[in-house]
Amino acid sequence: MAVAPLKVGIVGLGNVGTGVARILTDHPHRIAERAGRPIVLKRAVVRNLNKPRDIRLESGVLTNDIQAVINDPEITVAMELMGGIHPAREVILALLKAGKDVVTANKALLCEHGNEIFHAAREYGRTVCFEAAVAGGIPIIAAVGQSMAANQIIAIQAILNGTSNYILTEMQANHQHYHTALKQAQDLGYAESDPTLDVNGLDAAQKLGILCQLAFGTRVTTSQFEIQGIDSLDLSDLKCASDLGYHIKLLAQARLTNRELEMSVRPTLIRKDTPLSQISGPFNAVLLEGDMVGKMWYSGRGAGQAPTASACAADLIDLAVGRAQLTFERLDLWRERPEYPVMPADQTTSRYFLRLRVEDKPNVMAEVTGILGAKGISLASIVQPEAPEVDAKSNTPVVPLVIMTHRTTAGQLQEAMSELDLSSSVRGPRICLAVAD
């Protein structure tokens, strides 16, 4: 092959960076065949040159000087794989200014500074690729930007955090308690040492934000919609949902309703006989609904070295072939332009699953349904399983009450729940979860 090789610099040789370096060094022929020319790793920038590494690189490749990438005109593509906001933001801006196309997997950065980065890329005539930033190995950026190009996307439903999904699967299938399952996820390397952003829903919310930018051209910050994590779920919630025919998943949702975006990230009941409910362990899934193609969905590993590196390498190949540049020009992201506004959280609608503990006395079901009815919430079912117990605080007998509502607004539900909290017949803790359509 006589075509000049594409020379690449990697900034950050952690888990993903090492994975990309490995693909390039282990499979040079495969990559050259698919890219139309060799892709050569010229420099890998690390903080600590002496740290032991899982990969052998040719001498001279490893450096601790970012300028060795920025100032090398031979390097036309740079990969930011450090993660975090700073100095990743400054590094990407410097790389773009130096005339490099950039590949990144940094969802937090894009969510927060996508505007600035894409503006700079357009100003300098460069391309930014970020297939690995959302749902790891799932080619969701290509799906939205290219394969569904004839469609207006009208809804997204997605499982975007592998750690949460692993924990929920363990709780559901193996009856593990939350903290045991979380510990396992950490031992298996799925969860970060600080898993807060995984289990509190923020990681999924950042990814949903990027998907909404792509699908709806709307810039969304994570403060604009309801985010609820899985950290308050109890085994008994999963058991109760299961008895009704549902699994609980951390579901990220966005739906176009009357030109507004209804968005949320929260534990959600999903019917067992749907593919989405069967996504297990560390897998991610994204369901897109287009006005032409209907429902389309994608599943695969959302994180991990090889899947994420596979997505980064696909970006590199796209840049080498020249496709990425054409796509970037058309994607038109993070621009100032008319957007679909995000619907205020209290106006979003859903069906809900409620679990209350109520006093075991004759008129309590009438009282509860009365309060819900007064707020305009109609009920699909109300079940009182035979499992009386004694409330420790009041020393009175209590029974569980399981309610499925019809579609209602979050605001109505919130009002009803506040009123229920005031009722002397209702005892905490109470559970209120959304139910997927």
The beta-strand segments (E) located in 105-142 are 128-129
Least Å from the CB of residue 169 to a second copy:
11
Residue 91, C-beta contacts closer than 8 angstroms, at least 6 positions apart: 11, 66, 80, 82
Q: Looking at beta carbons only, is 33 or 90 nearer to a second copy?
A: 33
Phi, psi for 244 (deg, rounded to 5): -90, 0
Give the alpha-carbon dihedral of 313, 319, 321, 325, to 10 degrees.
Answer: 140
d(CA 45, CA 10): 6
* Peptide bond just before 429 cis, omega within 30 deg: yes
d(CA 435, CA 245): 12
Which residue ranges make up the annotated binding site for NADP(+)?
Answer: 11-18
**Candidate list 42, 100, 207, 249, residue with the active-site label:** 207
Q: Give me the residues paired with residue 381 across strands.
A: 404
Q: Looking at beta carbons only, is 150 or 387 nearer to a second copy?
A: 150
Q: Looking at beta carbons only, is 205 or 314 nearer to a second copy?
A: 314
Concerning whether 361 is annotated as a catalytic residue, the answer is no
Least Å from the CB of residue 290 to a second copy:
7
Which residue ranges make up the annotated binding site for L-homoserine?
Answer: 192
How does strand 6-11 pair with strand 39-45? parallel
Which residue ranges make up the annotated binding site?
Answer: 11-18, 107, 192
Q: Looking at beta carbons only, is 267 or 307 nearer to a second copy?
A: 307
User: Quick one: which of 272, 277, 268 has its CA closest to 435?
Assistant: 268
Least Å from the CB of residue 77 to a second copy:
14
Residue 135, token pair as written in the block = 């749902």
Residues at the interface with a second copy (CB under 8 A): 23, 27, 30-31, 33-36, 131, 137-139, 142-143, 146-152, 273-275, 277-280, 285, 290, 292-301, 304, 306-307, 309-311, 313-314, 316-318, 321-323, 326-327, 329-330, 332
Rg of the chain (C-alpha set)? 25
Least Å from the CB of residue 242 to a second copy:
12
Least Å from the CB of residue 48 to a second copy:
27
For 257-278, give one letter per residue: b (16+ CB within 10 A) or e.
eeebbbbbbbbbbbeeeeebbe
Q: Looking at beta carbons only, is 169 or 409 nearer to a second copy?
A: 169
Say if residue 376 is exposed, middle or buried (CB neighbours under 10 Å; 0-12, 13-18, 19+). Answer: exposed
Can you say whether the dihedral through the CA atoms of 25, 29, 34, 40 is positive or negative?
positive
Indicate which residues carry an active-site annotation.
207
